[in-house]
Amino acid sequence: MNELIAAVPTGITAFIATNLDDILILLLFFSQVNANFRHRHIVSGQYLGFGTLVLVSLPGFFGGLMFPQDWVGLLGIAPIAIGLNNLLAPNSDEPEAEVALTLPEQSSLSTFLSPQTCSIAAVTFANGGDNVGIYVPLFANCTWDSLFVVLSMFFSMVGVWCYAAYQLTRIPAIAETLSRYGNLLVPFVLIGLGILILIDSHTLENRGLAVLTLVVTGLWTLKLIAAVSLIPQVEKN
């Protein structure tokens, strides 16, 4: 019984220690809510991304081996790609609002599998390289009962994190600042986040992985530039 009671603060402490930076990212996400990007996409994406992190970490509980840390760092490409997409091909809110008027209400399953939700999940998962490094040994020291308690605390804290970030965006000073500068900040925050993930995971110290990162990022950037350059021609036609 003492072990189960001790698992409660252990789970809460481990979650807070590995997800403090997620509050800032969630703040930015909640400030971007519009007709096609809803609160449910953020919450669903956060749960989907975090659940995937837990799933990847579970081999620690079963004594399995994980990927090398520098390979895990390749996850940093995901937020960089999303940030470049927001920077080079931003979407205006007005057309989205018009389209949303003609769209039916999404079901829970379609929301969970929507591109918006998957984008949030990708960022959450990519930002969790350090989470995996902490959760693997944590799970390895758990029994079945204590693992259940820790995971219960984890998924409860995801909801608390989302609620806290949402409430912070409702504070007038914070909301006004984010609404004014949020669209400009989000791409750079995501790109910076991806770079930090690559650096912290020592991915760029591996020459092969560094080249792979540059090639993938470069090809994605060229694709976005080509897509943006075609927009004026489409509008003329």
Tell me 152's DSSP state: H
Q: Looking at beta carbons, which pairs linking 94-97 to residues 24 or more positions away fall under 8 Å?
A: 96/34, 96/35, 96/36, 96/37, 97/34, 97/35, 97/36
Distance of CA 10 to the CA centre of its chain: 23
Look at residue 64 in the predicted model and tell me its pLDDT: 41
Q: Which amino acid is at 96?
A: E
H helices of the chain, in order, are: 2-31, 39-57, 59-62, 69-72, 77-88, 93-102, 108-112, 115-126, 129-140, 144-169, 172-200, 207-236
Residue 60 · residue 185 · CB < 8 Å: no
Look at residue 102 in the predicted model and tell me its pLDDT: 36
Look at residue 78 in the predicted model and tell me its pLDDT: 75
Residue 14 · residue 134 · CB < 8 Å: yes
Look at residue 225 in the predicted model and tell me its pLDDT: 86
pTM of the shown model:
0.67
Q: Which residues of the chain fall short of a pLDDT of 70?
A: 1, 60-67, 69, 72, 75, 90-113, 129-130, 133, 137, 175, 178-179, 181-183, 193, 231-237
